[in-house]
């Protein structure tokens, strides 16, 4: 009964147990959530007072599930004369088609009961088990059950309706049902969350759908049809590829100002909202497959680009947002998420995505439209992020109560340390931030010449980039270890731990060619490479922990960018080896890579150990196999052509990726696996097993 069933659409999601019931606790994210609020915390079905027993659960689509149930829990006795089907699909809330079948040749009278309840917990309360500050109410109105929560002017409601008549009370609804021999009874239950504005009028936080009853099946099919078609000898890749496309569809989120267009929300259950960093990385990964995500991400992040100095939100002019939230703690400014800007990477990455998007699509109009924002982003990098005044990107939160301590992708408190485990003071300058800044300048110079008609600005950006690269290779290089320091401390001293961040440096192109081989060797060396992927922190470091969130686990997204970086410097075999490890791991998760998994040695565990509270699906993990496909095939847009330069692991056989969209229209890419990845015969074929 502990199995979790999750369905989702945009920022609405439902988490239930294996029989479709919700019995939320203070700390578990079970329930119906929308806009960072739990609108339903109790939803328990009984027949004649007895709980039901699941026979099967079909995850039909990401937005719908079907539960087959029979009355009577436990294993001793199951009354097989009745069966119950709960067909549930998520929209703004959810709709449940409840059907009861009598298999007997006698009529039967039963009592069907649905217990309901709503605690209106803010997602942050669920994370931190906070008590409510306002007033909860419940009432019965004309056959409908309404739950509500009010705190001053803040007002949210959940309305539950049924098509079949019911006796409704404040704790649920009861149906007295007589079923004829072989008869059927059914009702449709609808759970509708609402945000209530002044005057008691509901208002929408999302762009209204074009159609009142959008056909989600057709929409999903159209999404899948628009993506390139994969042909491959290695069956698991088909499953992973399809899973990635479907999960990406599930995570599409249309914020208020997008005119209905979608960008990827970051992940279930904690991050079902717009994140600057996550949306950008995912859009980069998905460019060869669904380039329109990048366009929406760029437009929406631009529309919310920082415009003022706000210390509570860590906002500055030009800064790209970190996270937007809609719940009670954001509304009352107990949390700074309206939006919060505390990241030091998304602003440069915004420019990187703009250029990469143009390379793939040739959409110069968007580049022209966003010139002001791109320039403001570059100005932020130079003027606001350089807290020390020495030409590097630094971070230090100004909101010391609820702001983020670490404003890079490894944003947990202990992720940035010295080799001896000490934590440095602030501000901090992690190495990959310098890489992103370098890449942003180089790419913006190209756009300035090509689209903005400002060669002087291009020259200046290139001069700055060259200077940054020269200084970086001097100040961050750990000479006796032959790798780059994780970060500089406020005094300019090196945090000389070996970390996966050095892989991002390859991706950004800031690594001196003379140093690249040493970096690649470390990435594939025994301290960083587990056999499945590159660990966030190297084995042997003081804070290394194979199940430490950012200090030893393997992150599929991280690895996909590292593989891209290795390809950029010509390390084809090394990139293929990482692709092999991550794709092998994906197979163990039925094609759905979690946010992170354990950094244990592959030969030790034989399977990837899931990180306990990892988000899944998570957008940039979903995007990882897509980017790995790109790196394995060596896809690179050059002018109006797509260059294909495959380097595939041997076990993968032949890959064909057909109808890749881009400025060239649609083209196909083919590759054959030739890179040996130490594979030995096993019970099941794997790509990168080394034992």
Per CB under 8 A, the segment of 48-56, 226-234, 246-254, 306-314 that binds other proteins is: 306-314
Residue of the chain from 330, 377, 578, 632 that contacts other proteins (CB under 8 A): 330
- Give whichever of 2 and 153 is closer to other proteins, judged by the CB atom: 153
Return the structure tokens found at 318: 């030009």
d(Cα 206, Cα 597) in Å, to the nearest integer? 34
Residue of the chain from 6, 19, 313, 469 that contacts other proteins (CB under 8 A): 313
Q: Is 307 in the site for other proteins (CB under 8 A)?
A: yes
Least Å distance between CB 258 and other proteins? 9
d(Cα 323, Cα 683) in Å, to the nearest integer? 44
Q: Is 668 in the site for other proteins (CB under 8 A)?
A: no
Q: Is 333 in the site for other proteins (CB under 8 A)?
A: yes
d(Cα 224, Cα 221) in Å, to the nearest integer? 5
SS (H, E, C) 245-275: HHHHHHCEECCHHHCCCCEECCECCCECCCE
| CA nearest to 399, candidates 306, 310, 312, 308 | 312
184 within 8 A of 100, measured Cβ to Cβ: yes
| CA nearest to 242, candidates 592, 555, 659, 617 | 592
Per CB under 8 A, the segment of 273-281, 299-307, 525-533, 673-681 that binds other proteins is: 299-307
Residue of the chain from 68, 312, 457, 607 that contacts other proteins (CB under 8 A): 312
x/- contact string, 339-378, with other proteins (CB under 8 A)? x-----------------------------x--x------
Least Å distance between CB 351 and other proteins? 17
Per CB under 8 A, the segment of 15-23, 189-197, 607-615, 638-646 that binds other proteins is: 189-197
Least Å distance between CB 138 and other proteins? 20
- Of 146-175, binders to other proteins (CB under 8 A) are 152-155
Q: Is 399 in the site for other proteins (CB under 8 A)?
A: yes
Q: How far is CA 257 from CA 253, 371, 417, in A?
A: 11, 19, 40
Least Å distance between CB 428 and other proteins? 15
d(Cα 576, Cα 598) in Å, to the nearest integer? 21
Residue of the chain from 2, 56, 75, 199 that contacts other proteins (CB under 8 A): 199
Return the structure tokens found at 555: 């992150």
- Give whichever of 16 and 305 is closer to other proteins, judged by the CB atom: 305
341 within 8 A of 355, measured Cβ to Cβ: no
Per CB under 8 A, the segment of 90-98, 278-286, 310-318, 505-513 that binds other proteins is: 310-318
- Of 484-523, binders to other proteins (CB under 8 A) are none
**What does the angle CA 644 – CA 647 – CA 651 come to, to the nearest 5 degrees?**
130
- Give whichever of 334 and 650 is closer to other proteins, judged by the CB atom: 334
Least Å distance between CB 378 and other proteins? 15
- Give whichever of 192 and 554 is closer to other proteins, judged by the CB atom: 192
- Give whichever of 305 and 553 is closer to other proteins, judged by the CB atom: 305
Per CB under 8 A, the segment of 58-66, 79-87, 324-332, 619-627 that binds other proteins is: 324-332
620 within 8 A of 278, measured Cβ to Cβ: yes
Q: Is 311 in the site for other proteins (CB under 8 A)?
A: yes
Longest CA span, the chain:
88
Q: Is 454 in the site for other proteins (CB under 8 A)?
A: no
Q: Is 105 in the site for other proteins (CB under 8 A)?
A: no
Cis bond before residue 617 (omega within 30° of 0): yes
Q: Which residues neighbour 349 within 8 Å (Cβ) at sequence distance 6 or greater?
A: 276, 277, 280, 281, 320, 436, 440
**With 0-12 CB in 10 A as exposed, 13-18 as middle and 19+ as buried, what is 591?**
buried
- Give whichever of 400 and 491 is closer to other proteins, judged by the CB atom: 400
Residue of the chain from 131, 142, 218, 308 that contacts other proteins (CB under 8 A): 308
Binding residues for other proteins, rule CB under 8 A, total 42
Residue of the chain from 334, 386, 454, 650 that contacts other proteins (CB under 8 A): 334
Cis bond before residue 269 (omega within 30° of 0): yes
Buried-state track 553-578, b at ≥16 Cβ within 10 A, e below 16 = bbbbbbbbbbbbbbbbbebbbbbbbb
d(Cα 373, Cα 299) in Å, to the nearest integer? 10
d(Cα 360, Cα 664) in Å, to the nearest integer? 9
Backbone angles phi, psi at 278, to 5 degrees: -65, -40
Return the structure tokens found at 214: 């959008």
Q: Which residues neighbour 115 within 8 Å (Cβ) at sequence distance 6 or greater?
A: 42, 43, 44, 46, 171, 172
- Give whichever of 64 and 328 is closer to other proteins, judged by the CB atom: 328
Least Å distance between CB 155 and other proteins? 5
Least Å distance between CB 313 and other proteins? 7
Please report the sign of the dihedral spanned by the C-alpha atoms of residue 674, residue 677, residue 682, residue 686. negative
- Give whichever of 332 and 588 is closer to other proteins, judged by the CB atom: 332
155 within 8 A of 149, measured Cβ to Cβ: yes
- Give whichever of 299 and 543 is closer to other proteins, judged by the CB atom: 299
Q: Is 401 in the site for other proteins (CB under 8 A)?
A: yes
Least Å distance between CB 341 and other proteins? 10
Return the structure tokens found at 46: 């009984």
Least Å distance between CB 124 and other proteins? 13
Residue of the chain from 87, 119, 125, 315 that contacts other proteins (CB under 8 A): 315
- Of 217-276, binders to other proteins (CB under 8 A) are 256-257
d(Cα 245, Cα 274) in Å, to the nearest integer? 19
Least Å distance between CB 300 and other proteins? 10
x/- contact string, 470-489, with other proteins (CB under 8 A)? --------------------
Residues near other proteins (CB under 8 A) are 152-155, 195-199, 201, 203, 256-257, 303-305, 307-313, 315, 326-327, 330-334, 338-339, 369, 372, 387, 397-401, 403
């Amino acid at each position: 009964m502990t199995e979790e069933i999750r369905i989702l659409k945009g920022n609405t999601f439902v988490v239930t147990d294996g029989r479709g019931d919700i019995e939320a606790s203070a700390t578990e994210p079970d329930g119906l959530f929308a806009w960072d609020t739990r609108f339903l915390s109790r939803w328990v079905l009984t027949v004649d007072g007895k709980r039901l027993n699941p026979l099967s659960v079909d995850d039909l689509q990401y937005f719908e599930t079907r539960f087959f149930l029979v009355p009577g829990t436990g294993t001793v006795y199951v009354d097989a004369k009745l069966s119950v089907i709960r067909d549930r699909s998520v929209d703004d809330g959810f709709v449940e088609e409840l059907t009861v079948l009598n298999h007997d040749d006698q009529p039967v009278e039963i009592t069907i009961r649905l217990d309901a309840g709503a605690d209106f917990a803010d997602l942050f309360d669920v994370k931190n088990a906070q008590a409510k500050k306002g007033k909860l109410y419940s009432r019965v109105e004309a056959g409908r059950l309404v739950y509500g929560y009010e705190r001053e002017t803040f007002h949210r409601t959940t309305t539950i309706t049924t098509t079949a008549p019911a006796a409704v009370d404040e704790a649920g609804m009861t149906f007295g049902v007589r079923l004829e021999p072989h008869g059927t009874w059914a009702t449709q239950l609808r759970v509708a969350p609402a945000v209530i504005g002044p005057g008691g009028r509901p208002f929408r936080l999302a762009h209204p759908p074009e159609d009142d009853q959008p056909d989600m099946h057709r929409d999903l099919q159209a999404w899948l049809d628009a993506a390139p078609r994969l042909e491959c000898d290695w069956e698991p890749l088909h499953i992973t590829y399809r899973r990635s496309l479907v999960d990406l569809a599930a995570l599409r989120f249309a914020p208020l100002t997008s005119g209905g267009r979608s960008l990827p929300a970051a992940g279930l259950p904690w991050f079902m909202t717009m994140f600057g960093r996550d949306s950008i990385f995912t859009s980069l990964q998905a460019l060869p497959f669904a380039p329109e995500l990048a366009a929406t991400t760029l437009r929406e992040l631009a529309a919310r680009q920082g415009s003022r100095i706000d210390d509570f939100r860590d906002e500055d002019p030009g800064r790209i947002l970190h996270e937007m939230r809609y719940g009670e703690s954001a509304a009352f400014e107990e949390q700074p998420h309206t939006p919060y800007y505390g990241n030091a990477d998304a602003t440069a990455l915004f420019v990187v995505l703009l250029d990469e998007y143009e390379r793939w699509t040739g959409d110069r109009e968007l580049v022209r439209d966003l010139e002001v924002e791109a320039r403001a982003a570059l100005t932020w990098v130079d003027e606001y992020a350089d807290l020390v005044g020495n030409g590097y990107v630094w971070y230090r939160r100004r909101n010391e109560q609820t702001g983020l301590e670490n404003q890079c992708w490894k944003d947990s408190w202990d992720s940035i340390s010295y080799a001896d485990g000490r934590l440095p003071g602030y501000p901090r300058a992690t190495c990959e931030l310098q890489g992103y800044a370098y890449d942003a300048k180089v790419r913006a110079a190209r756009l300035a010449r090509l689209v903005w008609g400002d060669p002087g600005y291009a020259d200046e950006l290139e001069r700055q980039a060259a200077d940054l690269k020269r200084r970086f290779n001097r100040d961050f290089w750990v000479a006796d270890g032959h790798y780059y320091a994780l970060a500089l401390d406020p005094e300019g001293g090196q945090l000389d731990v070996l970390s996966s961040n050095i892989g991002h440096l390859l991706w950004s192109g800031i690594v001196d060619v003379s140093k690249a081989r040493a970096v690649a060797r470390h990435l594939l060396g025994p301290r960083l490479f587990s056999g499945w992927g590159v660990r966030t922190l190297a084995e042997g470091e003081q804070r290394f922990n194979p199940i430490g969130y950012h200090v030893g686990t393997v992150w599929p997204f991280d690895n996909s960018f590292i593989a891209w970086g290795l390809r950029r410097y010509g390390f084809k075999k090394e990139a293929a080896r990482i692709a092999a490890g991550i794709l092998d791991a994906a197979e163990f998760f039925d094609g759905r890579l979690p946010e992170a998994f354990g950094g244990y040695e592959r030969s030790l565990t034989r399977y990837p150990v899931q990180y306990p509270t990892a988000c899944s699906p998570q957008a940039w993990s979903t995007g990882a196999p897509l980017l790995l496909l790109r790196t394995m095939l060596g896809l690179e847009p050059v002018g109006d052509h797509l260059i294909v330069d495959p380097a595939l692991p041997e076990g993968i056989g032949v890959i064909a990726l057909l109808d890749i969209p881009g400025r060239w229209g649609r083209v196909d890419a083919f590759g054959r696996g030739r890179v040996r990845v130490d594979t030995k015969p096993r019970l099941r074929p794997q790509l990168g097993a080394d034992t």
